[in-house]
C-alpha cells in the first residue's frame, strides 16, 4: 500500500531528519515507529501525509506517486488517511459531535451523511451519550477517543497516530491500545509512533526503529529494544 524509496528530508536549517529511508507497509499492517526524540518519527509521518516533501526519494501510495499530486489531489489523498496526535487537537468550543462532524463537513458531506456517520464513529470508540459534551468536560482518554472518532469517521485506509498515548496514564493507554487494535482488525492499516516501551513489548507487532533519520531495525514481531527479542 505504501512504499518509500530512499527518502531523505533535509530541513531548510540543514537538519537531516530522514536519511535514505526505504520501507514498504502493506494493507492491514500494524506498525510501531520507535526511536529517541529527534530520530525523525514525526517527519516520517508528515512525509507520508504529504505535509512535508522529501528532499530526495519517492513515496508511492497504492502505486501512485504522492509527491506529484497537485492542489485538490492532495486534499483527496489526505482524506484516505486519519491522523491522531498526542495532544488530541480538538476544537475546544465545539461539542464532541461537532468535532467529529467537522471532519466530514470539510470534505463536503451533507447533513444526512453526517447524522449517520458521526454516531457510528462515536459508537466505535465507545462514546455513546457524550455527543453534546465539550472536550474540557471529558477525561484525557475520552478526548483521545473523540480524536480517534474524528480520524476514522471518513473510513480511512491508513491511520497515523503520533504518540497517541503520550499524555495518558497507563490504564487509559492500554484501553486505547485495545481500541486501536480493534480498528486495525476491522481493516485499517495503522502506523503508530510511540515511546511506550511496555505496550510495544507486549503487543509484538512490526517495529520500525529510527535513529538519526535512519531505519536501524525493521522487525516483524518486535519489542521496543532489540535486546527484548
Ligand atoms: P521525532 O518525531 O523522532 O522526535 P522529528 O521528526 O520531530 O523527530 O525531528 C527530527 C529532526 O528534525 C530533529 O533534529 C528536529 O529538530 C528536526 N526538525 C523537525 N521538524 C523540523 C522543522 N520543521 N524545521 C527544522 N528542523 C526540524
Q: What is the pLDDT of residue 50?
A: 96
Which atom of ligand 1 is least distant from the CA of 37? 4
For ligand 1, atom 15, the nearest C-alpha belongs to 38
Q: What is the pLDDT of residue 229?
A: 42
For ligand 1, whether the C-beta of 21 sits within 6 Å is: no
CA of 49 to the centre of ligand 1 (A): 15
Q: Counting Cβ atoms within 10 Å, is residue 185 exposed (0-12), middle (13-18) or buried (19+)?
A: exposed
Q: How far apart are the first and last CA of the chain?
A: 27
For ligand 1, atom 7, the nearest C-alpha belongs to 42
> Residues 120, 194, 223, CA angle at the centre, nearest 5°?
110
Please tell me the pTM assigned to this model.
0.95
For ligand 1, whether the C-beta of 43 sits within 6 Å is: yes
Contact present, 219 and 207 (Cβ < 8 Å): yes
List pLDDT tens digits, range 65-118.
Answer: 999 999 899 999 999 999 999 999 999 999 999 999 999 999 899 999 999 999
Query: Would you place residue 227 in the very low, low, confident or very high pLDDT band (cuts 50, 70, 90)?
Result: low
Q: What is the pLDDT of residue 18?
A: 98
* Residue at grid coordinates 486495525: 184
For 194, the grid coordinates are: 510511540
Q: CA-CA distance, 210 to 228, in Å (whole number)?
A: 17
Q: What is the pLDDT of residue 77?
A: 96
Q: CA-CA distance, 177 to 184, in Å (whole number)?
A: 10
CA of 193 to the centre of ligand 1 (A): 14
> Would you say residue 148 has pLDDT above 90?
yes
CA of 121 to the centre of ligand 1 (A): 32
Please give the C-alpha separations between residue 4 and each of 139, 179, 205, 218, in angstroms, as whole numbers: 37, 28, 20, 14
Which atom of ligand 1 is least distant from the CA of 42? 2
CA of 28 to the centre of ligand 1 (A): 28
CA of 131 to the centre of ligand 1 (A): 36
Query: How confident is the model over 26-36, as a mean pLDDT?
Result: 97
List pLDDT tens digits, range 41-75.
Answer: 999 999 999 999 999 999 999 999 999 999 899 99
Amino acid at each position: 500500500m505504501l512504499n518509500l524509496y530512499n527518502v531523505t528530508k533535509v530541513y531548510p536549517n540543514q537538519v537531516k531528519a530522514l536519511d535514505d529511508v526505504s520501507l514498504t507497509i502493506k494493507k492491514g499492517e500494524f506498525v510501531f515507529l520507535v526511536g529517541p526524540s529527534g530520530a525523525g518519527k514525526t517527519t516520517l509521518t508528515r512525509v507520508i501525509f504529504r505535509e512535508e516533501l522529501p528532499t530526495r526519494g519517492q513515496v508511492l501510495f497504492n502505486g501512485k506517486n504522492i509527491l506529484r499530486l497537485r492542489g485538490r489531489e492532495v486534499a483527496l489523498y489526505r482524506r484516505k488517511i486519519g491522523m491522531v496526535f498526542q495532544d488530541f487537537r480538538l476544537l475546544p468550543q465545539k461539542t464532541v459531535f461537532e468535532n467529529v462532524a467537522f471532519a466530514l463537513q470539510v470534505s463536503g458531506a451533507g447533513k444526512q451523511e453526517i447524522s449517520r456517520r458521526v454516531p457510528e464513529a462515536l459508537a466505535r470508540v465507545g462514546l455513546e451519550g457524550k455527543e453534546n459534551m465539550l472536550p474540557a468536560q471529558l477525561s484525557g482518554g475520552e478526548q483521545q477517543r473523540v480524536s480517534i472518532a474524528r480520524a476514522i469517521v471518513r473510513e480511512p485506509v491508513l491511520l497515523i497516530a503520533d504518540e497517541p498515548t503520550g499524555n495518558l496514564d497507563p490504564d487509559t493507554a492500554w484501553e486505547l491500545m485495545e481500541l486501536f487494535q480493534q480498528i486495525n482488525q476491522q481493516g485499517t492499516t495503522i502506523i503508530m509512533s510511540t515511546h511506550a516501551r511496555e505496550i510495544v513489548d507486549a503487543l509484538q507487532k512490526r517495529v520500525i526503529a529510527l535513529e538519526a533519520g535512519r531505519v536501524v531495525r525493521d522487525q516483524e514481531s518486535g519489542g521496543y529494544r532489540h535486546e527484548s527479542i
